[in-house]
Structure 1
């Protein structure tokens, strides 16, 4: 097949909205995309500069392009997702999990059954969800069994019982099958379970409290004890849930990226209650724009299946490129209006922050997996021209506040990830305040003087967070200690000070290593550098607080002695208060939600 003539093709391409399909020389579909203007969008693939590596790889394989003109951009969006789902092209962002979401089903009738459900909603009754996974459903069902004792057996089993089953004996069912509970009492329990499943926990707790008081006044202590037990169980759940008492259904999408990959987390909120989250690590990233990538993912998430449970609101941590188009497509496909927002406040802002935090943590775990780290260490060997793969990286960083309480950190990274048991911190003394070079020299001598006598573990590569000056200090120390078989590498921030644009100095100041921003070798260097920076800041703040003989609570803006005392009294001590979440801090008398957030991030600056 002759080489694809992009210039001639683009001359004839329409400027109407539509869908384009790219094929290789074997006539295999490579990529499906949609465009408001076909000519402009397809032309962007063949520009001479600014293309990502994956886009370049796609363009190199194109043998022909087909297109379908549509009457509107919305129609193009729907057609694009239909074709992606049908053909699953290798260069499109593909979601690997097409299973339907699980629900909790409550049947109709005098004695409703509650059970796990997945798939089409064929039965007559109420469905609650969707839940992010089967474990979330099972945990909720287990709680409902303990608190409300609703039956889980099917109708055939229920109608043929002559005596209570094991579920009743272990107090997980009130045994309506043999009339051990009245119809009215059972229906009351069903109504309370529905309140819980709808997220109306505040209303439910108030009702149970009232019922308990009424039963106690009537001296029906057995019934009062039952309501008391339900209250205790539900309060425990309420403490564990991210609940503020507000209503609302929303899906929250957060995209975060780090050197080597990106993650998208979806947080599911129904009736004001967070049900859980799912995390995705799409392997194909064509767009150079993160907002565009998130837009494409959400398009496929909802439009690629047409069977999702779509909430009233979709919230994102990035402003979508075409929110109006997606909103109209969702309305056309699902028959309901969906609000798309990225700027939110109050409880929705806290939900979004939770989604971002989940995405960040899931990405950290994903990148730290053995396979990922192993490939990075192999790439580092090739980039530095080493005969063998390095097995141990150590990195130093210096932290202080205008020269006060200077601390040097040392972190260790291996092919399996961080080796935190071997992290070390050094309190620097006897130097001129703010002299980072002297601080680095002291830390290096204290760390490696044992190597001269054959003790301790020797790193294959020593990474220094700094430029030529820090590299010079390290080389002088290693010469003094007669250590010659450790590779020295300094990392200096580039002129833009952005990640991916660092300057690397190897061994001597005039030997500069130039790595692409998407290089796995650069990613592992950035990873160990960032970890050393984080550990240095935490260690410095701990030392500064100890030196001043004050707790971190005493330096929180807006917190005086009374509020500080209220916090410590509420949690019982500083350690417990430090472990508290934003939501738990907001429960302290006199602490608002906004102030709780301020306190939390002051106490946890590394987050």
Structure 2
């Protein structure tokens, strides 16, 4: 029975009691699940609009038909209502609200200052290190791109400190002209400090000062007949000029985010262009999901509130946000952002000159990216329809899951679960699982454990049930999936084994249906086969990535780290006392007891654990 069928919400009686003050309302269904969270300057007026006799869109009527209860919270101001609304959206992720589905912190370029030879690196998370942070950048790719050309111009090292300390000769980065090799004294401390200062100035947007300084150095080198050095400085100035031409607009300064939003085909794209110090750091596309037909202005307002009030924080907030259209709650958003940042934040849409160029750039990128996404969605729909026809399904499948197992001779076994919907890979729902407690190399046991862990949660209603479950493997792996579903009492889930062909070449895969055991071979030009190959290859890639990360972490880990009672300090004392791990392994209990901080009990624990290992 649906929510609509059993819904008996008395809107007339409810609206008589609702206050006219500002606040937040939460709509719930019969199961107590949050459907929608909204804010209002006048709660009675706003809620009355949902229950009028005409003028509602089909999707809004579907929402209203599922309402069983509405909870109201009165706030002292519209600003407080806006903040509470965003916190509730983040907490409950209601299906009818606009959701960004992006919880990652934004990356920065970090320049360390607590080292004789500072390094550049990418940084996410809390800024606890001693040094300077430049950004935020819209994506890790934008940071890597910036680090790449910074190497070419300024040649400041980017290697880890542990790698730096172990060098006895210059590495490849020096050979190709991307590092000045301070680790082995190929550059004086004075020259390296000058490169670091130039890097800092450029990242602060003072590229003209850097060019002028490099120009003076070039002239001085030429006057002193150091023509090779002068030529090198000339090349660096030319490359810096090239970078400036693509990233900077002369005379422009400031920290600005430009938003270009477009709607087409029932989907929305918001392009975020980040400018810091007058320099374009990069851009990123967002495709917010919503069950309702909100206008573009409302979509942009929701994006700004979620991205900056909840997702960004004061440190990441620009001083100006430019949109391509006017916003209804522009003043409210600007006041709320300013309050959170502790300084004035301006929202605008009517801009001229260079800002208009950036605005047009963001809008053009949004239009092109949405066009590409719609084309991809059309192609994806064609593949899903072909899959429906191939499998003889009455309803078009919408959610596909695929599992794979990866390990190296049984070491560091990892299972992957990837999810596809009508738009392609749904990466926010991807999951990796570390497999423990099985015989190394037993793929059947690994698959059994992974599926059990996943589908216990599906059975409990914590996760969404897929329409089709694909298993990368033949009948053996498929039988494990069938056993898990039987034990959990899950019926009606179509399971498909994807077995490799006779000579294991792509295009010769055999599909094995779990419901009737029928084997299906598809022609290599089949759109259905292409979809299955895509999800199978993606699960394989994701499993291998997880396995390699887990394996490399375990191999980097010291043998002493797994011993109870041996922390970083005791581990350091042991290695210092015996001159390395080999010395610790050869030591007896009495020898271990002589190390500061090592008691008889811990010495015995270390002795036994190292020998059992």
TM-score by length of 1: 0.60
Asked if 1 retains the 8 angstrom alpha-carbon contact of 2:120 and 2:156, the reply is yes
1:158 to 158, 164, 167: 164
List gaps (5 residues or longer) in structure 1.
379-415, 417-607
Asked if 2 retains the 8 angstrom alpha-carbon contact of 1:114 and 1:150, the reply is yes
Asked if 1 retains the 8 angstrom alpha-carbon contact of 2:95 and 2:291, the reply is no
How far did residue 140 of structure 1 move?
A: 1.3
The aligned residue for residue 434 of structure 1 is none
The aligned residue for residue 145 of structure 2 is 139
Asked if 1 retains the 8 angstrom alpha-carbon contact of 2:21 and 2:41, the reply is yes
The aligned residue for residue 256 of structure 2 is 250
The aligned residue for residue 13 of structure 2 is 8
1:223 to 229, 254, 264: 229
State the distance in 1 between where 2:97 and 2:310 align.
12
- 2:188 maps to 1:182: yes
- 2:277 maps to 1:271: yes
1:337 to 330, 344, 349: 344
Count of matched residue positions in the alignment of Structure 1 and Structure 2: 381
How far did residue 275 of structure 1 move?
A: 1.3
Q: 1:61 to 1:198 in 2, by over 3 A?
A: same
State the distance in 1 between where 2:223 and 2:266 align.
65
1:85 to 83, 90, 103: 90
Map residues 66-145 of structure 1 onto 2, 5 A cutoff. Answer: 66-109=71-114, 110-145=116-151
- 2:306 maps to 1:300: yes
Asked if 1 retains the 8 angstrom alpha-carbon contact of 2:63 and 2:96, the reply is yes
How far did residue 233 of structure 1 move?
A: 1.6
State the distance in 2 between where 1:365 and 1:87 align.
31
How far did residue 236 of structure 1 move?
A: 2.3
State the distance in 1 between where 2:243 and 2:254 align.
19
1:211 to 207, 217, 228: 217
- 2:252 maps to 1:235: no
List gaps (5 residues or longer) in structure 2.
1-5, 386-422, 424-613
How far did residue 203 of structure 1 move?
A: 3.0
How far did residue 345 of structure 1 move?
A: 1.1
How far did residue 373 of structure 1 move?
A: 7.2
State the distance in 2 between where 1:9 and 1:16 align.
15
State the distance in 1 between where 2:109 and 2:156 align.
13
- 2:30 maps to 1:30: no
How far did residue 306 of structure 1 move?
A: 4.9
State the distance in 1 between where 2:277 and 2:299 align.
29
1:349 to 349, 352, 356: 356
Q: Deviations over 1:306-337 (max 9, x none)?
A: 53710111111111111221122223323232
- Structure 2 residue matching 1:330: 3-state secondary structure: helix
- 2:268 maps to 1:262: yes
Asked if 2 retains the 8 angstrom alpha-carbon contact of 1:255 and 1:265, the reply is yes
Asked if 1 retains the 8 angstrom alpha-carbon contact of 2:7 and 2:65, the reply is no
How far did residue 259 of structure 1 move?
A: 3.5
CA RMSD of aligned residues (A): 2.4
Asked if 2 retains the 8 angstrom alpha-carbon contact of 1:244 and 1:347, the reply is no
State the distance in 2 between where 1:349 and 1:376 align.
41
Map residues 374-385 of structure 1 onto 2, 5 A cutoff. Answer: 374=381
Q: Deviations over 1:440-460 (max 9, x none)?
A: xxxxxxxxxxxxxxxxxxxxx
Asked if 2 retains the 8 angstrom alpha-carbon contact of 1:202 and 1:245, the reply is no
- Structure 2 residue matching 1:236: 3-state secondary structure: helix
The aligned residue for residue 601 of structure 2 is none
Q: 1:375 to 1:76 in 2, by over 3 A?
A: farther
